[in-house]
């Protein structure tokens, strides 16, 4: 990621890992295959995600890709002339990756350029935040090849709602970055040459917060999002009360009242 100077870099067959202070950058690095999500790539990405999330000081994770495609989805060569158990493995590994994105305590930000379709679109939808370059394209075109995007629709429907998700799923059509932002699939659209800088700025804003507060907030968000309203309030009132008792919340409120910057105890 050109805008984030790496101080700790790991290179592997499909995923490149860079850590610079509070920001970890995971790069899908198989542009010749349009960053297809093979079982090996998904396994490697999940392991990298969990590894960087456990590193002291990492408070934001960026997911990006090399080449003209963010990800064209599953590697279809792994899904032809296979047994049912082998097909199940593909989607089990995919589900593990998508749930890991929500399970890690740090916010995960997708930096999207080019094509993000099928499981690639799912990957964007599963991230906590997303910034897209102008020219990025999103879709769930599985219906066109006889394979309905059933697992991608889990994340996509939760991001953009039923009617819009069904439009993508049933027609297989793609949408541009501006439409993706309007529909809520991405947070922001920037010029292609500004993508890395915009994502870096967003990651810095996220990383400025208390690490314990980010962890509590992200976990609580996904815990309450699909609950009925009364159950969500019951869960969240207890969460907010216990959050208020943390040293960083007490420090933050005291700093606000004293009109001074907070000094987080849990900043690493």
Q: Please give the Cα distance from 196 to 27 (Å, whole number).
A: 12
- In percent, how much of the chain has pLDDT > 90? 92
Start-end of H helices in the chain: 39-53, 84-103, 119-126, 150-160, 162-171, 177-183, 195-207, 211-224, 229-244, 247-258
Q: Is residue 2 very low, low, confident or very high in pLDDT (cuts 50, 70, 90)? A: very low
Of 31, 7, 9, the closest CA to residue 20 belongs to: 7
Q: How much is the pLDDT for 6?
A: 44
- For the chain, give every residue range classified as CATH 3.90.226.10: 8-207
Answer yes or no: is pLDDT of 13 > 90: no
Q: Please give the Cα distance from 78 to 38 (Å, whole number).
A: 7
What is the mean pLDDT of the segment spanning 158-183?
98
Start-end of H helices in 54-106: 84-103
User: What's the mean pLDDT when you consider all of the chain?
Assistant: 93
What architecture is the 211-258 domain classified under in CATH? Answer: Orthogonal Bundle (1.10)
Q: Do the beta carbons of residue 2 and residue 37 sit within 8 Å? A: no
Q: Please give the Cα distance from 191 to 184 (Å, whole number).
A: 18
Is 8-207 CATH 3.90.226.10? yes
Joined together, the tokens standing for residue 4 give: 């984030």
Answer yes or no: is pLDDT of 174 > 80: yes
- For the chain, give every residue range classified as CATH 1.10.12.10: 211-258
pTM: 0.92
Q: What is the pLDDT of residues 24-71, one digit of tens each?
A: 999 999 999 999 999 999 999 999 999 999 999 999 999 999 999 999
Answer yes or no: is pLDDT of 4 > 60: no
Q: How much is the pLDDT for 12?
A: 55
């Amino acid at each position: 990621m050109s805008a984030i100077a790496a101080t700790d870099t790991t290179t592997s067959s499909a995923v490149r890992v860079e850590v610079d202070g509070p920001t970890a950058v995971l790069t899908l690095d198989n542009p010749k295959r349009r960053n297809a999500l093979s079982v090996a790539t998904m396994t490697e990405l999940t392991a990298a995600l969990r590894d960087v999330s456990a590193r002291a000081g990492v408070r934001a994770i960026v997911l990006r890709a090399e080449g003209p495609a963010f990800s064209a989805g599953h590697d279809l060569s792994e899904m032809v002339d296979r047994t049912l158990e082998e097909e199940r493995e593909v989607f089990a590994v995919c589900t593990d990756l998508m749930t890991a994105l929500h399970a890690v305590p740090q916010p995960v930000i997708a930096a999207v350029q080019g094509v993000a379709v099928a499981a690639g679109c799912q990957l964007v939808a599963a991230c906590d935040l997303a910034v897209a370059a102008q020219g990025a394209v999103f879709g769930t075109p599985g219906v066109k090849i006889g394979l309905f995007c059933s697992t991608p629709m889990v994340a996509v429907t939760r991001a953009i709602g039923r009617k819009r998700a069904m439009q993508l799923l049933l027609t297989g059509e793609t949408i541009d970055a501006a439409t993706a932002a309007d529909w809520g699939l991405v947070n922001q659209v920037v010029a292609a040459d500004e993508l890395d800088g915009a994502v870096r700025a967003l990651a810095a804003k996220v990383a400025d917060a208390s690490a314990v507060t980010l962890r509590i907030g992200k976990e609580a968000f996904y815990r309450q999002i699909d609950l009925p309203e009364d159950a969500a309030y019951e869960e969240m009132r207890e969460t907010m009360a216990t959050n208020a008792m943390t040293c960083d919340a007490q420090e933050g409120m005291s700093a606000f009242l004293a009109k001074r910057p907070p000094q987080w105890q849990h900043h690493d």
